[in-house]
Amino acid sequence: MKKSMILLPIIFVAVLLANIWHAGEEAKGTRNYSDYEKPEACASCHIDIYRQWKRSMMSQSFTHHWDEIEYFDLAVKHSTKDPFFKPAADGCNGCHAPLSFLAGDVPPPRPHEGSRANEGVSCDICHTITGVHEEAVNFSWISQPGRTKYGAKPGLESPHHITAEKEIFRQTELCGSCHNEKNPFGIYVKSTQMEWLEGPYAKEDVKCFVCHMPKAKGKSAPMAVEGEVAQHVFLGAHKPSKLRGAIEISMHCLENEIPYDGVATIQVELFNAKAGHKIPTGSVEDRILWLDVTAVDEEGKTYHLPVDPKGFDGEEYTIASEELAYKDMAIPLGLENFAGVPRDGVPAGDRIFRMPYFDDQGVMTIMQWNTRSLGVDYRIGPRETKIETFTWELPDDIAAGKITVHAKLNYQKLVKPVADFLKVPEEEGEIVQMNEVSLEFEVYD
């Protein structure tokens, strides 16, 4: 009797709160644009933080050229042809244009129309999050806009707003709510926070903030107390300086001197030294990381060395070939007899570190919402080392003398043939050299 008297009001309040605190899909159309302040309203005091955020991908999550192409030309068009995909296409905005999603304004106006969708993942989106609902996936954050701005620090004072400390600002679930994604077929098409959780950094309590919002001495506003301030830089794959050296490579040849009709055995070790998750992570369907090894003899003749296959299931997707893929782009683009575009666009025989996404025909896709299954996961995990071997039977025409072998580890945000086909600006298909190493050996007659 006594127990139920205490429990009933608690249940009542819980039901009431559950109705007000919408998260994920349910939050669509529950707010107005005017419930949220513009980033410019924060800029006058949080000067450096604003500038950092403005330069980061967070502020471009809706306006960025490739996002616009994929959302409007592929996702929205696909959902018009097949209404099954409508919730998924609306859901893009839950992470890329959260304000429009909350306001129920989907699809939002195109970026050139200058609507508030362009604010992307804004200050007020993050700093009005009070928690994450159940699983951290598919924009499952709870938004409570208003005078109170939530953060990681207790007891701060501001003339513009109330500040309050919230545990979620010290938890990776805040990031995971947008950096893990499950598509309409229940496939995890993004799992950065889950990869972190399984890896060594979670055990050591080294969270996303340490590497993506590093602390520096200073003040977050002119009237602030001096202390360690979280820098809102959010560097990732769009910053070559973040990519360079993230994977360390070393190479050796088992023999120093080889007869001209002999065999060179070259080994390359690749160590994910810097990322708290796999490389590549995030938009894995787009990203390509590959190891390209070439040798040059005394006469300047260049030879390309294909990697030795290891024989695991699905390995064919990790060795570059001339095969075609991405045929499902024909559906939204309304193309007939479309054979696809080259799957890799990198020298055949190179090792590719990736996880392929497959459509319902078992063909590789970059349309993550249309993914029915995932292939072999041959990415490099946090602090993992992979070893690749190149057994090279020296060619007949090789010149005796010094041979220089050069290994390059290259990264591309979007597989080049797709970038070219969809006319995505150059920058997205640019090759970033993450690392390189060389060695020499002698060939004798």
Query: From the CB of 371, what's the least distance to ligand HEC, in Å?
Result: 11
Q: Which is nearer to ligand HEC, 232 or 408 (CB)?
A: 232
Among residues 103, 106, 104, the alpha carbon closest in space to that of 89 is found at 106
Q: Which of these segments, 55-63, 344-352, 353-361, 436-444, binds ligand HEC (CB under 6 A)?
A: 55-63
Q: Note whether 341 and 416 are within 8 A (CB).
A: no
DSSP H helices in 305-397: 330-333
What are the Cα distances from residue 8, in Å, to 1, 16, 19? 11, 12, 17
Closest C-alpha to 307, from 346, 355, 335:
346
CB of 297 to ligand HEC, least distance (A): 35
Does the protein bind ligand HEC through residue 172 (CB under 6 A)? yes
Q: Measured from the CB of residue 19, what is the shortest distance to ligand HEC in angstroms? A: 22
Can you tell me which of 24, 61, 116, 381 binds ligand HEC, judged by CB under 6 A? 61
Residues 300-319: b if buried by 16+ CB within 10 A, e if exposed: eeebebbbbeeeeeeeebbb
DSSP at 279: B
Minimal CB distance to ligand HEC: which residue? 282
Q: 91, 34, 131, 113: which is closest to 369 by C-alpha?
A: 91
| Single residue of 171, 281, 318, 435 touching ligand HEC by CB under 6 A | 281
Q: Which of 179, 379, 386, 416 binds ligand HEC (CB under 6 A)?
A: 179
Determine if 127 is a binding residue for ligand HEC (CB under 6 A): yes
Indicate the length of the chain as a whole number. Answer: 445
Output the smallest distance, CB 260 to ligand HEC, in A: 41
Terminal Cα-to-Cα distance of the chain (whole angstroms): 97
Q: DSSP letters along 142-157, please?
A: EE--SSEEEES-SS--
Site residues for ligand HEC, 142-171, by CB under 6 A, read 149, 151-153, 156-161, 163, 165, 169
Question: Between the CA atoms of 38, 43, 48 and 51, what dihedral angle is there, to the nearest 10 degrees?
Answer: 50
Enumerate the β-bridge partners of residue 257: 442
CA dist 95 and 62 (Å) reads 9
* Minimum CB–partner distance for residue 364 and ligand HEC (Å): 16
Tracing tokens 């090759």 back to the chain, one arrives at 431
Please identify which residue in 111, 276, 375, 381 interacts with ligand HEC, judged by CB under 6 A: 276
- Interaction pattern, residues 372-411, with ligand HEC; x per rule: CB under 6 A: ----------------------------------------
Q: What span, in angstroms and rounded, lies between the C-alpha atoms of 231 and 218?
A: 10
- Residue from 75, 132, 249, 268 touching ligand HEC (CB under 6 A): that is 75
Selected from 100, 118, 138, 412, the binder of ligand HEC by CB under 6 A is 138
Of the candidate residues 133, 242, 408, 416, the single one contacting ligand HEC (CB under 6 A): 242
Structure tokens at 384: 């993992």
Considering only residues 31, 133, 232, 351, which one is a binding residue for ligand HEC as defined by CB under 6 A? 232
Q: In the structure encoding, which two tokens stand for residue 99, read together?
A: 């304000």
Q: Does 98 bind ligand HEC (CB under 6 A)?
A: yes
As beta bridge partners, residue 290 has 352, 410
Nearer to ligand HEC, 275 or 325 (CB): 275
Give the nearest distance from C-beta 193 to ligand HEC in angstroms: 4
By CB under 6 A, tell whether 422 contacts ligand HEC.
Answer: no
* CB 58 to ligand HEC: min, Å: 5
Among 246, 293, 380, 419, which residue interacts with ligand HEC (rule: CB under 6 A)? 246
- Strands (DSSP E) contained in 214-346 are 215-218, 227-230, 247-253, 257-259, 263-272, 288-296, 302-305, 324-325, 341-342
Which residue in 103, 279, 407, 443 binds ligand HEC (CB under 6 A)? 279
Segment 196 to 225, residues that bind ligand HEC, using CB under 6 A: 196, 201, 206, 208-213, 220-221, 223-225
Q: Which C-beta is closer to ligand HEC: that of 100 or that of 193?
A: 193
Mapping DSSP to helix (H, G, I), strand (E, B) and coil, where does residue 439 land? strand
Which residue number, 308 or 377, has a Cβ lying nearer to ligand HEC? Answer: 377
**Which residues in 17-46 contact ligand HEC (CB under 6 A)?**
37, 39, 41-42, 44-46
Distance of CA 240 to CAs 147, 278, 302, 431, 433, Å?
Answer: 38, 17, 28, 10, 8
Q: Is residue 353 close enough to count as binding ligand HEC by CB under 6 A?
A: no
Least distance in Å: CB of 408 to ligand HEC? Answer: 17
Size of interface with ligand HEC, in residues (CB under 6 A): 96
